[in-house]
Amino acid sequence: MIKINNKKDERKDVLRLENLTIKFGGLTAVDSFNGYLKEGELIGLIGPNGAGKTTIFNMITGIYAPTYGTVTFNGIDITGMKPYVITHLGIARTFQNIRLFSDMTVLENVLVAEHSWLQNYKARKILHKHEPEKFPRPHWKPWFWSAVLKTPDYLKMERHMKDYAYELLKAVDLDKFAHLKASALPYGPQRKLEIARALATRPYLLLLDEPAAGMNPQETQELAEFVQDVRKKFSVTILLIEHDMKFVMKICERIYVLDYGKIIAHGVPEEIQNNKRVIEAYLGDESYV
């Protein structure tokens, strides 16, 4: 039984995962995961290698379909939806091993994510159906033809996309590299660019898969500030996977601990730090705790 605090949290649920389970052949990679994220929270998901953390991200973003269980995002059941629809609904992510479009420039990487602005008709229809008052009935626009014929409408959109992309790059301090190939960036900035690219889809919920992997302590320190900064500036809810305990303990409000696909602990950082099962799972590896 998990007790965090007894007073009721009035904020609305951004994400709710219920009995989320996935099997790969004989292996149950994630077993009945239950969890939630409240609006504006910054939550950590930790666990030893192969615990199933990335797999949870893949199920939230529609890359894998869960064997059973549901994913509810802002009250909408998104289980089994296509990744692009889920992105348009407002979930963006980064990848554990950076997956930038390395042959494209830094600016283009961000612009690619903004292409979703032209393509979100289906998602807006879902939103309209869900909350007709809040989301007006969407209008379908033949953006493809506008783009090929370069109509004024499209050119205006393109300018708008470029402006926003530069703004984003400035916010993450990458604007001076805008015309460099993404693969030419050093490792740290590549991680930042991946976050910027995710933000360009204008998400509510941001999923970060080991953002501090491969960084030195000082870079990790900066990243911690950066993540908190992003949360404030872009008012996103964040769920992050991380192995660096200091990092997680410092910035996360709540933490889920996963081992062999099962939740073994859930609570605020202090609780997790002293949890016996967590310490066991990390098997006395002092450097972690």
Partner 1 sequence: MGTKRISFKTNFILTTVFVIGVGFLLLAASHSVGDYWVRIITLMAIYSIMAISYTLVNGVTGIFSLGHAGFIAVGAYTAALLTLPIQQKTMSFFIAPLIWPLNSIQMGFFPATIIAGLVAAFAAFLVGYPSLRVTGDYFAIATLAFAEIIRIVIQNSYSITNGSLGLKGIPPYTNIWWAWGWLLVTIIVIGSLKFSSYGRALRAMSEDTVAAGAMGINVFKHQLMSFVVSGFFAGIGGALYAHWLTTIDPRPTSLGIMLTFFVLIMIVIGGLGSISGAVLGAIFFAFAAQWLRIVESPMNFFGITIPGIPGMSMLIFATVFILIMLFWRRGIMGKDELSWQYIYDHFAKKAGDQD
Partner 2 sequence: MSHLAQNLINGTLLGGLYALIAIGYTMVYGILRLINFAHGDILMWGVYFALYMVIALSMPWWLGFIVGIVLAGLLGFSVEKVAYRPLRNAPRISALITAIGISFFLESLAVVVFGGIPKSFNIYPKFFNKIVIFNHLRIQMLTFFILGVTFVLLFGVLWLLYRTKTGTAMRAIATDIPTTSLMGANVDNIISLTFIIGSMLAATSGIMWAMRYPQVQPYMGFVPGLKAFIAAVIGGIGSVPGAVVGGFILGMTEILVVGFFPNLAGYRDVFAYVILIVLLMFRPTGIFTVYSEQKV
Least gap, CB of 24 to ligand ATP (angstroms): 3
Chosen residue from 47, 62, 66, 203 binding ligand ATP by CB under 6 A: 47
Tokens of 145: 């033809």
| Binder of residue 50, out of Mg ion, partner 2, ligand ATP, none (CB less than 5 to 8 A by kind) | ligand ATP
Nearer to Mg ion, 54 or 87 (CB): 54
Query: Euclidean distance between the first and final Cα of the chain, in Å?
Result: 23
35 lies in the binding site for ligand ATP (CB under 6 A)? no
Chosen residue from 63, 118, 171, 264 binding partner 2 by CB under 8 A: 63
Evaluate whether 164 touches 201 at the Cβ level (below 8 Å): no
DSSP state of 57: H
Least gap, CB of 227 to partner 1 (angstroms): 19
Rounded to whole angstroms, how far apart are CA atoms 81 and 60? 9
50 lies in the binding site for ligand ATP (CB under 6 A)? yes
Residue 35 in 3-state DSSP? strand
54 lies in the binding site for partner 2 (CB under 8 A)? yes
Rounded to whole angstroms, how far apart are CA atoms 175 and 103? 18
Query: Which of these ranges, 22-30, 67-75, 187-195, 230-238, lies near ligand ATP under the rule CB under 6 A?
Result: 22-30
- Residue 119 CB neighbours (<10 A): 14
Chosen residue from 13, 32, 112, 279 binding partner 1 by CB under 8 A: 112
Rounded to whole angstroms, how far apart are CA atoms 250 and 245? 8
Give per-residue burial for 135-153: e unless 16+ CB within 10 Å, then b.
Answer: eeeeeeeebeebbeeeeee
List % helix, strand, coil for the chain (3-state, nearest 5). 40, 20, 35
Least gap, CB of 45 to partner 2 (angstroms): 16
21 lies in the binding site for ligand ATP (CB under 6 A)? no
Query: Which of these ranges, 19-27, 194-202, 243-251, 268-276, lies near partner 1 under the rule CB under 8 A?
Result: 194-202
Query: Which of these ranges, 57-65, 100-108, 167-175, 251-259, lies near partner 2 under the rule CB under 8 A?
Result: 57-65
Evaluate whether 244 touches 223 at the Cβ level (below 8 Å): no
Name the site residues for partner 1 (rule: CB under 8 A).
61, 63, 82-84, 87-88, 92-93, 95, 99-104, 108-109, 111-116, 118-120, 143-144, 147-150, 154, 157-158, 161, 197-198, 201
